[in-house]
Amino acid sequence: MTDTFDTSHATDPAWLRSHRRAVLDFYYPTCMDEERGGYVAQLDEQTGEVYDADSKHLVATCRFVVNFCRAARDDGPDWALAAAEHGVDFLLTHHRDEETGGYHWLLDGTDPVDERRSPYGHAFVLLALAEATTVGIDGAREALDETYALVERHFWEADENLCRSELDADWEPVEPYRGQNANMHMCEAHLAAHDATDDERYLERASAIARRLTVDLAGETDGRIWEHYTADWDPDMEYNVEQKAHQFRPWGYQPGHHAEWAKLLTELSDRVDEKWPLTRAEELFAVAIAEGWDAERGGFYYTHNLDGEPIVADKYGWPVAEAIGAAAVLAEATGEDVYQVWYDRLWEYAVENLVAPGGNWYSKLTEENEYVDTDEGPAVEPGYHPIGACEAALQSFDG
């Protein structure tokens, strides 16, 4: 941690690239599983030591690919492209089921131990393959279009303009639940796929998902983004109400997702000739700040109730990273000073509280901004969010 942070660094492209490189260097080359392929994501956030060399989570594999592709595309280290190719090969060879075309959720080494077909996981497959397409990795474009068709066939609910939830290994439904989070990442992935291919169907799909969730459905919850829905896409206000601190599907509003949508909608607004995405982006960023930001200690509460009172008061790194990205793109899109102020404030908080000595970011802090050990279970966050913050800032501030 530092006592002060010179916020003039935060818009300096050289500093942003240096910060991105520090995150990459924390993981590479330790993350490279040269014997079995793929990556090792389970590194202790304080020491960098591997605490589980075997678990290979689909989301972690995809996020590593995204990180390395983004660096390779932007004059990153010489090894970035090869590291990305290494991950794409593992993704298509081991995570992908040759018989069904679906992607396994979790591997032990190269053996599937959880074969569920997750729309969240397949969204990240699309994102990884889109980024791989931009740097010319062999087979990425073909696999991208194949995965789009797979999502279309098994997840897409055309009457709702949204994706359904989890399926089993044979593509059969396992629950009536519907969720916004997977669809938000589907929007993100389709925006990236459009940028990589110029194929308008990807942009149309991204826009349809965004409008359905942030305009139509949010209109039923006072403009805010609710997380959980019934099979008919009605807001399910009772889902996990008795498990408000559920690890993956907590009850309540998540400020981090409001900030993340603000970023995505601003990016969408730059690609379509419509006003609503930017309008909603500004509104959702304002909600995230007004109801999620801890004005006394900094950081975003993880969740809050219908009245804006914190439920899970822990501070995670990813909402701050997403808010940095949102503030950066909103500052460019609107020219409003308030977004630059928040961009600086968010970076100052991140550098003073979230950036670890090794250059990576801590995943989780207490309400008082004390470190929380998260070395349990397969990791899915190999620096994806802070690298994404740098990516959005570079696009906004690098000329």
pLDDT band at 76, cuts 50/70/90? very high
- Residue 385: the pLDDT is 98
Give the mean pLDDT of the chain. Answer: 96
State the DSSP code for 199.
Answer: -
Burial of 323 (0-12, 13-18, 19+ CB in 10 A): buried
Q: What is the mean pLDDT of residues 168-195?
A: 97
Written as one letter, the residue type at 236 is D
- Residue 4: the pLDDT is 75
Is there a domain that residue 1 lies in?
A: no
Could you count the other beta carbons within 10 Å of the beta carbon of residue 289?
22
Q: Which domain holds residue 255?
A: 7-397
385 is catalytic: yes
Q: What is the mean pLDDT of residues 269-278?
A: 98
Residue 208 has pLDDT above 70, yes or no: yes
Q: What is the mean pLDDT of residues 84-94?
A: 98
Is there a domain that residue 229 lies in?
A: yes
Interatomic CA distance for residues 259 and 211, integer angstroms: 16
Is there a domain that residue 20 lies in?
A: yes
Is there a domain that residue 352 lies in?
A: yes
Q: Which residues are 111's β-sheet partners?
A: 108
pLDDT in tens, 233-264: 999 999 999 999 998 899 999 999 999 999 99
The CATH number of residue 305's host domain is 1.50.10.10
Give 147's contacts (C-beta < 8 A, 6+ positions apart).
122, 125, 126, 129
Comparing 1-10, 42-51, 324-333, 356-365, which segment has the lowest mean pLDDT?
1-10
- Residue 398: the pLDDT is 87
Is there a domain that residue 2 lies in?
A: no
Is there a domain that residue 302 lies in?
A: yes
- Residue 3: the pLDDT is 56
> Which one from 194, 228, 257, 258 is the annotated catalytic residue?
257
Query: Within a 13 Å sphere around the CA of 66, how many CA atoms are in the beta-carbon half?
Result: 29
Residue 92 has pLDDT above 50, yes or no: yes
pLDDT band at 108, cuts 50/70/90? very high
CA-based torsion, 355, 361, 367, 370: positive or negative: negative
How do beta strands 156-157 and 111-114 pair?
Answer: unpaired
- Residue 1: the pLDDT is 44
Interatomic CA distance for residues 363 and 250, integer angstroms: 17
Q: What is the mean pLDDT of residues 129-147?
A: 98
Comparing 2-16, 243-257, 269-283, 300-314, which segment has the lowest mean pLDDT?
2-16
- Residue 265: the pLDDT is 99
Work out how many domains the chain is built from and give that number. 1
Q: What is the mean pLDDT of residues 296-307?
A: 97
Q: What is the mean pLDDT of residues 72-78?
A: 95
- Residue 300: the pLDDT is 98
246 is catalytic: no
Interatomic CA distance for residues 61 and 265, integer angstroms: 26
User: CA–CA distance from 310 to each of 65, 239, 362 (Å)?
Assistant: 35, 18, 21
Residue 399 has pLDDT above 80, yes or no: no
> Which one from 154, 190, 194, 385 is the annotated catalytic residue?
385
Is there a domain that residue 195 lies in?
A: yes
Is there a domain that residue 77 lies in?
A: yes
